[in-house]
Amino acid sequence: MENHRVWLPDPQEGFILGKVVDIGMGEVTVEPLDSKKKKVVCSLDRTYTAEDYDNKDVDDNCALMYLNEATLLNNIRIRYYKDKIYTYVANILIAVNPYTEIKDLYKSETIKKYQGKSLGVLPPHVFAIGKYFICYT
């Protein structure tokens, strides 16, 4: 397990990425990959296994190798910084407010592109799930 990549809780960032440098009785020493942070000793159950890549994202969080709170949030964060504000968790759409306009996100051409397509064929978008909504008045 040494040199194994893990996420550990951080009060400012939510979770930070690190590598296990020592294992003791029920606790691990984790060295954050961010060199500004100090080594942390914590119980093993406070860490979450991390993916082997840093900046890759997936359209559906269910495709993550390790599905836990930290990897899910990291995937959403990576996608957000790439202006991919929509992410699936199976057939649930997560939307993150970009606080800016994203070019062509809601154009009529985009609507047409999603018409008649099954969920998951195209990247996550509100137009992909729109046909599943039922309005009651």
Tell if the pTM clears 0.85, that is, is over it: yes
Q: How many residues does the chain have?
A: 137
Residue 31 pLDDT exceeds 60: yes
Please tell me the predicted confidence (pLDDT) of residue 134.
Answer: 63
d(CA 66, CA 52): 10
Whether the Cβ atoms of residue 87 and residue 73 lie closer than 8 Å to each other: no
DSSP string, 29-70: EEEESSTTSPPEEEEGGG-EE--S-SS---SBGGGSSS-SHH
Residue-wise pLDDT tens digits, 54-84: 788 999 999 999 999 999 999 999 999 999 9
Domains of the chain by start residue, with CATH = 5-49 (2.30.30.360), 61-132 (no CATH)
